Structure 1
Amino acid sequence: MKPRVYTNQLKAMQNESTGNLQVQVVSKNGMRPIENATIKLSSPSDPSKVLEELKTNSVGQTDIIDLKAPPVEYSLAPSTEQPYSEYDVEISAPDFEPITINGIEILAGQIALQNASLIPLSDKAEPGSYVIGPHTLFGDYPPKIAEAEIKPPKDTGEIVLDKVVVPEYVIVHDGPPTDKTAQNYYVKYKDYIKNVASSEIYSTWPQSTIEANIYAIMSFTLNRVFTEWYRNKGYNFTITSSTAFDHKWIPNRNIFENISVTVDTIFTSYLSRPNVKQPILTQYCDGNRVQCPNWMTKWRMHM
């Protein structure tokens, strides 16, 4: 994984643009909104300096604030310049364990949404700390290992489902399939898609490009669900967060408002072939760092 380096970010700030951030805070027990939670925002380059201090309202949300971001042009074509700025937050509330989230990504002209779930002190949990890794279009991640886009029954074992079902939840294994130390997360299907899309494409892209990429992500995910791909191999999860096998998913990462709205609109859709019941395992690469003939590429769909 590429280390966090801020030279490009500071250079970009000389040609200043702005993006936006809103934080939503709830209790992990019952998902109840937490009013008057405190959010302290800082820059990774100077974590001791509080840039903004926010409070949540009666529905657990902060105001939408403006933050510095690199020029939008950096995210519209492959570039060596980091196209997003990064911010860290400390979130606390009375009677709850505090959490920190490092590396919130802010893109020019876009509203970033950061959701946070706090654990009550009565649960005697440790304070949470999360780091959002580099975006897949800027960081270094393993390329996808090629697979057949349609899975024959002989490869998957007995296909359990007799029709395509959009699940309420998926179980995400946060690492390669064979990593027994990696944690499993129960994630709402729509939240999973929003997280992956925010990790793999830029929300600054045209709406038609965002939709095309989300269709590909959903079709791939539903293929894993329909074929019970990992369960038929003896694993207890639906999908992984490894780019070598599946898509990049990052615990507690921020998403982007326009991506969230798009997923809410088209989340029941997927791609398939004529006379083929299962969704296509729609594999792709970035088309810049990694070339993948005969596959879709994220930049080509954009350009």
Structure 2
Amino acid sequence: MWTRAASGFLNIEMNGMNPSDPIEGATIKITEHRNPNKVIKTVVTDKDGQVPDVELPAPAASPNADWDPHTKYDLLVEIPSVDGHARASYTYAKNGIEIYDGRTTNNHDELSYIMGLETAMQDGRATFAINLPDSTIADQESMVYQDPDQFADKTSPGVFSPLIRKPFVPSYINIYLGRINPYVPRVSINNKKVIKDTFKQYIKRVCAIEFGGIAKLSEQAIYANTLAVISFVLNRMYTEVYVDKGYPFTITNSTAFDQHYPAGGFTNQRVDEIIDKIFDQYIKKGKKVQPYFSQYCAKHPCQNKGMSQLESNRMALNGRSYMEILKRFYGDDLTIEKAEKVTVIPNSYPGHELKKGMTDPAVGAMKGFLNVIRKSYPAIPQLNATDLFDEQTEKAVKKFQEINKKKLKVANGIVNEPTWRLIGEKYYFLGGQP
């Protein structure tokens, strides 16, 4: 009897200073884990900083395990000397990329971020190496229960001079690579261990390592767990637990008090696609303004009294919706809210698709965004400054979608909400103003 050979895919993208700064000609050697001399495949990024998805062997999914098996691979990345990116060539290693049967793992790196990690980690080796932890969190350090009601709303009566009045999604977030107890007086820290990542990439890295490896992961469980991750970090941002003590960061990567953030980590494409839809949404409880402090853990029951990721997936597989799952763990008096301000999106989605033949102010705004994006992606044609969605505009949208086909999945020349959001993000990172 013929048996299918199990395999997964690795999606690679390389950028320079930000997600809209593609690096052409980066060489990536994919090797066996902990065996750098065993090169399996070598790929080179194109003008858009991408390579076709790389198929790699992976163990077949197990029908009874809580966590899917995977094969680890290492990457050796060689960045050429490119004006605006690096005066000299730069090489680094990333060890422990996980490949799962039938799934796509995303490895999207920015040179500025990687070089920041090298400073933070004070590696000292000739070739800087990022050693990634395993995505299962069953062996995480002991979690500390934190009372969600202990944090005062910034808008509550008696709160002096609130700095943040309404929840918002930032462009970037500052993370401390280490353990800090937020409930004791401030201690001295090494400021070099504070790194910056885009908010969405932070969420994607956390979700991949926190629950991306769960076997038979259900879409409703992805929604529930992603909302918990987002709400948790937005609560840290809103209540300013660390900032109020004078720390230069919003959150740490310690699972005792915060979330498991793997610096330089990969992400899970299926989970990423849902994050792109809901990254500006969060859990709100009762009449409180702040995002809910949604604690969670891997196994049931949770030491921190939060949502069990494994149990949430079992519930989803038994037909429960993500709202039913969230209410089971966090109570019935919750709603899903949308952040009022999303700083990485210059304008809100107009609420309807933009397509050829339309005349709409949103078309004019979108054409202006694409003209800025052309600086990094010259294959996109120049557009005139009118509100008409003409043939040239359709060609420009199609080209943008083709460049980003791994994320958008379409190249039909129609601007739907995912296309609009990605255009907005690319524009923002190229210096566009909200």
Counterpart Cα distance in 2 of 1:252 and 1:45 = 18
1:268 deviates by: 1.1
Q: After TM superposition, list the pairs within 5 Å mapping 1:16-165 onto structure 2.
A: 17-28=6-17, 32-73=21-62, 77-78=65-66, 83-95=69-81, 96-118=89-111, 127-137=127-137, 140-153=139-152, 159-165=162-168
* More off after superposition, 146-155 vs 63-72: 146-155
Q: Does 1:169 align with 2:181?
A: no
Q: Aligned equivalents of 1:67 and 1:30: distance in 2?
A: 25
- Paired residue secondary structure (2:163): coil
Shift in Å, 1:197? 0.2
Residue 185 of structure 1 pairs with residue 184 of structure 2: no
In 2: Cα distance, 1:146 partner to 1:20 partner:
38
Give the CA deviation at 1:179. Answer: 7.3
- In the TM superposition, residue 264 of structure 1 has moved relative to its aligned partner by 0.9
State the secondary structure of the residue aligned to 1:59.
Answer: coil
- 1:127 positional shift: 4.5
Distance 2:34 2:93 in 1: 16
- C-alpha distance in 2 between matches for 1:227 and 1:52: 47
Q: How many residues align?
A: 280
CA RMSD of aligned residues (A): 2.7
What is the one-letter code of the residue matched to 1:146? Answer: Y
Give the corresponding residue for 1:7: none
Return the alpha-carbon distance in structure 1 between the equivalents of residues 137 and 73 of structure 2.
18
Q: Which residue of 1 aligns with 2:210?
A: 200
Q: For the residues of structure 1 that align with 2:148 and 2:266, how far apart are their CA atoms? A: 30
8 Å Cα contact 2:11/2:52 also seen in 1: yes
Match in the other structure for 1:236:
248
Structure index of larger Rg = 2
Among 223, 241, 260, the alignment partner of 1:248 is: 260
User: Which string of whole-angstrom CA distances, capped at 9 and with x for unpartnered residues, describes residues 141-185 of structure 1?
Assistant: 213211111334399975531111122211111111257246111
| In structure 1, C-alpha distance between the alignment counterparts of 2:106 and 2:188, rounded to whole Å | 30
Paired with 1:266 and 1:64, the residues of 2 have a C-alpha distance of 25
Question: Any unmatched runs of 5+ in structure 2?
Answer: 82-88, 113-118, 120-125, 181-186, 315-434
Change (3 A) 1:171 1:38: same
Say if 2:153 and 2:289, in contact at 8 Å, map to a contact too: no
Mapped to 2, the partners of 1:68 and 1:85 lie a distance apart of: 8
AA at the equivalent of 1:218:
I
1:265 aligns with 2:277: yes
Aligned mates of 2:4, 2:258 — CA distance in 1: 36
1:133 CA displacement: 1.1
Q: Which residue of 1 aligns with 2:419?
A: none
Instruction: Quote the sequence identity (%).
Output: 28
1:112/1:293 Cα in 2 relative to 1: closer, same or farther (>3 Å)?
Answer: closer
CA–CA distance in structure 2, aligned partners of residues 127 and 47 of structure 1: 12
Q: 1:92 to 1:296 in 2, by over 3 A?
A: same
Q: Which has the higher contact order (CA 8 A, sep 6+)?
A: 1
Q: Match of 1:144, as an amino acid? A: M
- Bigger strand share: 1
Q: TM-score normalised to the size of structure 1?
A: 0.84
The answer to whether the 8 Å contact 1:171/1:187 transfers is: yes
**In proportion to residue count, which structure has more helix?**
2
Cα shift at 1:128: 3.1
> What one-letter code is carried by the residue in structure 2 that aligns with 1:300?
E
Contact in 2 for aligned 1:20/1:64 (Cα 8 Å): yes
**Residue aligning to 1:9:** none
1:177-232 residue CA offsets vs partner (Å, 9 max, x unmatched): 25724611111111111110011012651111111100000111111011011111
Q: Which runs of 5+ in 1 are unaligned?
A: 1-13, 120-124
